[in-house]
Amino acid sequence: MPSEPGEIDRAVALLQAGELVAFPTETVYGLGADAANPAAVGRIFAAKGRPADHPLIVHLPADGYLERWAREIPAIAWELSEAFWPGPLTLILKRAPAVPGAVTGGQDSVGLRVPAHPLALALLQAYAGAGGGLGGMCGIAAPSANRFGRISPTEATHVRAELGEAVQLILDGGRCPVGIESTILDLTAGDARPPRLLRPGRVTPEQIATVIGVLPEIVSREQADGTPRVSGSLAAHYAPTTPLRLVAPERLAEVLDSLQQTGRRCAVLCYRPLPDAGATHALRCLPADPRAYARALYAALRELDQTAADLIVVEDLPATPAWVAVADRLRRAACGSGREADFGKRR
Ligand code: TXA
Ligand code: MG
């Protein structure tokens, strides 16, 4: 159900009081708190069950607020914010002195973005109009509104299912139009070196290059797992509890057949029609377009996770640039999901 009038005011009052509010962004739902208030930020970590040394993204009402949060801002940061904000790009910059360590996981950098969802922007603007939290910093810290390591929520009902009563208010903005988390770009090396892409997303390296004239350096999972810490870059993340296996399209029918012969209930996620669909325990066929696929992916994984299947079998994606971001999420989901070896013990 869409949010009622007056809910933005309630949300602002809760944020000002150091409480949590979940809200939609164009990527996924966020679990928000006053980013300048260490006690409020602490509530986010408690609600998510997330380790306190993992940094959070701070959401701002506009790029005009950047200087409150970042220092030594390179020219490329202004070029990128001009081109992509509001939108699904997070910039990692050196943090300003006023930024509490609670929100940066103790690091000297801070993740910042201006989200494009109308409800998120309305919330951020109303919050700024009402004082903008401690010190008038006007930033809302918000990780994805799921339990640590689990699938990000793309609908308000997912947030309630993940976090229950830990969050007093969930602003309902319907289904998130992008569906996977923002692109994260590390600009802490300044203008002299190419930025580093820490997490792929809707904003692609090629789009970034058209603005700043150079392709970002793609950071491997292993590198990104070090410092600075990017929890979305952990090999196991965005995961269902049911074991998840990626299978090459040309082997899908054969693998399903042999799994089903051993009595396994297979829930299948594909993007092309499945010839022998009737034999599967559950089936979701997503659009064969990467953007439409991304929009539907997390809701589909949640649904299949709840079908009491023994295994979620996912048709592997084409190895082309357009599919990189969703393929990244699926690989992490496969790593973090339940163990296939537990088949038999689970019934
Ligand atoms: O689309 C999104 O980015 C969503 C919406 C709610 O904005 N947020 C999101 O937040 O995905 P979260 O916390 O689930 O993931 C944020 C990622 C984490 O992997 C975190 O480690 C990384 O951003 N991050 C934040 N600050 C950082 C920093 N200073 N250095 C390196 N990574 C940072
Ligand atoms: Mg997350």
Q: Which domains does the chain have, with CATH numbers?
A: 7-223 (3.90.870.10), 244-336 (3.40.50.11030)
Q: What is the pLDDT of residue 160?
A: 96
Q: What is the pLDDT of residue 228?
A: 44
Beta-carbon contacts of residue 5 (< 8 Å; ≥ 6 apart): none
Q: What is the pLDDT of residue 274?
A: 87
- CA 146 to ligand 2 center in whole angstroms: 7
Exposure on the CB side of residue 46, measured as CA atoms within 13 A = 12
The sign of the CA dihedral 146, 151, 157, 162 is: negative
Decide: 61 in ligand 1 pocket, CB within 6 A.
Answer: no
Q: What is the pLDDT of residue 337?
A: 80
- Ligand 1 pocket test, pick from 184, 199, 221, 295 with the greatest ligand atom count within 8 Å of Cβ, gives 184
- CA 276 to ligand 2 center in whole angstroms: 35
Per the listing, tokens 């088949």 go with 343
Q: What CA–CA distance (Å, rounded) separates 335 from 240?
A: 10
Atom of ligand 1 nearest to the CA of 231: 19
Q: What is the pLDDT of residue 276?
A: 76
Q: What CA–CA distance (Å, rounded) separates 147 from 238?
A: 10
Ligand with minimal distance to 221 CA: 1
- CA 152 to ligand 2 center in whole angstroms: 6
Minimal-distance CA residue to ligand 1 atom 20:
230
Minimal-distance CA residue to ligand 1 atom 21:
230
- Ligand 1 pocket test, pick from 28, 31, 50, 56 with the greatest ligand atom count within 8 Å of Cβ, gives 56
SS3 state at 15 = helix
How do the pLDDT tens digits run along the chain, 347 residues long?
Answer: 566 779 999 999 999 999 999 999 999 999 999 999 999 999 999 999 988 889 999 999 999 999 999 999 999 999 999 999 999 999 999 999 999 999 999 999 999 999 999 999 999 999 999 999 999 999 999 999 999 989 999 999 999 999 998 999 999 999 999 999 999 999 999 998 999 999 999 999 999 999 999 999 998 755 654 444 555 656 667 889 999 999 999 999 999 999 999 999 999 999 999 877 778 899 999 999 999 999 999 999 999 999 999 999 999 999 999 999 999 999 999 987 877 765 555 44
The sign of the CA dihedral 4, 30, 122, 175 is: negative
- CA 117 to ligand 2 center in whole angstroms: 18
Atom of ligand 1 nearest to the CA of 142: 6
| Whether the Cβ atoms of residue 172 and residue 166 lie closer than 8 Å to each other | no
Global confidence as pTM: 0.94
Atom of ligand 1 nearest to the CA of 95: 29
Angle at the Cα of 279 from the Cα atoms of 277 and 283, rounded to 5 degrees: 50
| Whether the Cβ atoms of residue 278 and residue 210 lie closer than 8 Å to each other | no
Q: What is the pLDDT of residue 99?
A: 98
Q: What is the pLDDT of residue 232?
A: 61
- Ligand 1 pocket test, pick from 150, 152, 230, 332 with the greatest ligand atom count within 8 Å of Cβ, gives 230
- CA 205 to ligand 2 center in whole angstroms: 21
Q: What is the pLDDT of residue 338?
A: 79
